[in-house]
Amino acid sequence: MRDLLLFDIDGTLVAGGPAKEAFHLGLLEVFGTAGDIDGHDFSGKTDPQIARELLVGAGLDDEGVDQGLPDLFRVYLRELERRLPSDPVRVLPGVPRLLSALAGLDHVALGLVTGNIAGGADLKLGSAGLRAPFEVGGFGSDHEERNELPPVAVGRAVERWAVEFDAERTWIIGDTPRDVQCAHAHGLRTMAVATGRFSSSELSEAGAEIVLDSLEDSLAVAELLTTA
């Protein structure tokens, strides 16, 4: 193994689906409020961070949020699993072919760095048929701060493949400035994709080494990630 490629999920690999609805229902059931969920910016944040921002904004204190988070995520996963069959996530263009091409390379290891809690990531990717290539990851359930997730994913990759991955050969692929920031916080490289709510120019301004409009030209994307 030489290259470690760590993918974000929402806005990068998939879009849509019932996660926001399931999250909303969980907040209401456990806390009695979802705060200003319709006006809130979810992009690039971890699930616990989103919950805390919404609930503190609605007047709860941090201790009350901490106590309720396990129940929130239990309800969220239950509702997400119930709703995915009728409201599936949409796989973004080029993604299946890209993952297939990368998974076939002996020198490439695939993982995740995502704000999703691990169970949510499993459900979303499983429903899209994309779970199999990803053997390791750093998840919102590992830490509330996204910048803390790359070392978690890298550490798990080192354990899984018994290889020390060079930072210059470790990429985070995502669709928000926060993906870029969390990579650069640890000296990693970034490919940013304008398939979420941020434009190519905004992602360039955030400092991504490579910025693409999409992953649709999958073979060219694979070459950029493994030879750049």
Residues 61 and 129 sit within 8 Å (Cβ to Cβ): no
Q: How many residues does the chain have?
A: 228
Range of the domain at 140: 3-16+89-227
| Residues 204-220: tens digit of each pLDDT | 999 999 999 999 999 99
Same domain, 8 and 93: yes
pLDDT of 228 > 90? The answer is no
Residue 74 DSSP SS3: helix
Same domain, 60 and 172: no
pLDDT of 1 > 80? The answer is no
Residues 184 and 190 sit within 8 Å (Cβ to Cβ): yes
- Average pLDDT over all residues of the chain: 97
Dihedral angle, C-alpha 69, 62, 145, 89, nearest 10 °: 40
Residue identified by tokens 């996204």 is 146
CATH code, 128: 3.40.50.1000
